[in-house]
Every structure is written in C-alpha cells, then in structure tokens.
Structure 1
Amino acid sequence: NRQNRNEELPNVGMKGDEIYSFHTASSNTGAYQGKILVIDPSGRGKDETGWCILYTLNGYIYLMDAGGTRGYEEKSLEFLAKKAKQWQVQTVVFESNFGDGMFGNVFQPVLLKHHPAQLEEIRARGMKEVRICDTLEPVLASHRLVIRDEVIRQDYQTARDADGKHALKYSLFYQMTRMSREKGAVAHDDRLDALELGVEFLRDR
C-alpha cells in the first residue's frame, strides 16, 4: 500500500526499493518470549564483528538493535556486554567457526561482569551466501521479521570503515538488499551474517 511508504528513513536498497511501515497493528500486547544477542566475531583486517538483538513473540522475530564493532578490542567486548544488559537478553549466541570458539572464552568474563546471560555457540555450515538466503528468505517473504525504525537509522549512521569514513557496504540493509546465492555477492556481510545466525538459532529452538 503506497500510503504506508516511509520516506523519512534512509533507503540504501536497490533502485526502485522502498521502505513501508505496517498496515495495521493489533492493540493486544504480550511479553516477549525470547531475547537474544547474536555476535558474528571478526578476524583481523577490514571485517566487522556484526551483532544484533532479536526478540520473539508469537512466531514473529523483532529486530530491536543491530550494528558492527571492531574485533576483540576490550572496548568492543565491553560495548557488547552492555548491549546484553541494556536489552536484558537471556542468551548470547556467537558463531564459533572463527578461532574454534575462542571468542566465547574471551567474552564470557566481560559479559558476566555486566549481565548474567547464558552463552551459546553456533557453528555455521555450508556456503555462507546460500545459508543466508535460505534462512532469511522465508522469514522476510512471510513478513515475520519486524524491524524498529531506529535500527534502520542507526545502521545507516554507523556504517563506517576501519578509518571511520561512511561506507554503505558495512550497512546491514545494504548487505541484505544485495545478497544473492553467488559466492562473494557482497564485499562485507558481517551484520547480515549475525542476523542470519540469530534467525537460524531461533528457528531451530
């Protein structure tokens, strides 16, 4: 419905892509059933450590917050632990492929200093691009992913390279709108990979 088009949010999609708000919403409310922080740890170099906060309720997944930070620096670990506390997550999920789960050993004491969440690792399998598409496509096609407006704004503002320069290739929604099943479809997929890991984790619960 064209009336629901949202032109106030930054649109980093392909030509012709537009952002739409919901058409109607029930006045009924309920407590969220699940709250997780998902982390896709990066190695060295230009990759980010992608992260996102996901809540669940009645079959819907709510993207409450998302972004990227740099590697294993102490300030990055503190930042992520504070996000866990801010959103009162029950579980922190991280991809264990890099460093054979080393991130969990490094992050756990920092996390517990701020918030008593459970730490779980998930091992990604198969070709990354295919996995991302296979996991996210059904959720997006059935409109089961609900995104806060502020996530879109913050994602745009925080999409920066290692030198702090604005770079759309680090944006979650730039990555989402350009991902395909082709190897190397996007130069950076860290934020999108974190979202996929979280959706996969919730789907398999």
Structure 2
Amino acid sequence: MTRISVYIDGYNLYYSRLKGTPYKWLDIAALFRDRILLPQDPSATVISIKYFTAPVKANYARHAEASSQAQTQYLRAIQSRHPGLVHVINGFHIFGPASLPSYQEGAGPSKDKVSRVWMIEEKQTDVNIALHAYRDAVRGAYDQLVICSNDSDLEPALKMIREDVPDARIGLVMPLRDKDTGDGKVPNKRLTPLAHWVRHHIRDDELAQSQLPQHVTTKKKPASKPLHW
C-alpha cells in the first residue's frame, strides 16, 4: 500500500485549467484519486487531499456576491462529499494601491512612466502548501506527495523534502490543458526536475467524468452547483 497525500493550489487549478470550461463543479477526489493516481498505481491509498485557496472578494469578482456564494457552495460540497479526506486551508486576499509601469506598445517597462493601480494579492497560499507538505513529510504522514500546481514558489519546499526525506516520492500534476490546444501555458521547468513523475496536463474527459452531483448532501441544506457555473 502506498500512502498518498495530495496538495492542490486551488487558484492555480482554477485559472490555469478550469476557468472558461463547464467543469468547475469538480470532484477533486474523483479526479486525483480515481482518474489519475489509481490507474497508475492500484496499490495507492489517498489518505488526505488538502485544497488551498482564499475567500473570494465579492467587490472584485466578476459575478460580485454570486462569485463569493459559488465558492462557498463549492467548498461545502467537496468537504461534505468526502468527509475526513478533503481539507480546505484558507489564506486571504489584500487590496492595496501600487505604482506600476504603464504599458506602451513596442516599448519596455520604464520607471519614468508609471500608473497608480489597485493591486489584489492572494496571501499565504504558497507558504501554506509548502509548510503542510514539508511538515507532513518529516512526520512520515505519507509515502508519496502529489502537488497540483505550476507555481515556482514551491521549488524550495520540494528541494527540502527531497533532501530531508529522501524516501518520500514526489508526484507533480500540472493544472494545464493538453499541449495541442495551444493556449501558450507550459509546465514549469523549475518544478519538473524535482518530481519523481510528472503529469503535464489534465484532459477534458477526465474533468467531465469527475463532476460532483448537482446537489451534494451536507449536514445542513444541500450544496448546489451555482447557476453561472
């Protein structure tokens, strides 16, 4: 039996793979455990799936309050669908004014031509993933960790896990479309050398086969798929 813990960068998964698709109501356990991990290792036992995100800011989101409510419904659904398996770890967003170089066609950025803008930043997600993955490794919580992210901020954590816990295997699932779609996004070359195996994309058929029921039973009222999803 191979004990596996999965660590998912929720925003990276959403913006790199799910945005603009009909697959946002995603059963992450069905995708990672049943479609990706078990077919390649029938002895795999997924003991934990940690989903890292941050609460949506309604006044910034495309669908305003509906976006915040959609996220709430989704997080309720994935935790209720797989109690004790799926864990949600929240960071937060901050707004702040910033001065950034103005874009001009054919010219590079210049500190002499800047614009004042509002910056929104997601805080703690990367450090939360890194710390949870590393702490679980040194505690011997898993035999293999699987990271779903394409973010180079995780490079130091993966390096340290390989150095300090050499028996732990590392799998990397890139939340990308098939390369044939030509959307321009490519696997992060700083992360791939640190993994024992790499999945370079997630297929549409795998997402389609890994959708939650329209209504998911919870301890309170059901969590329902948002209308605009």
More strand by share: 2
- TM-score normalized by structure 2? 0.31
- TM-score normalized by structure 1? 0.34
Instruction: Determine which structure has more spread, i.e. the larger CA radius of gyration.
Output: 2
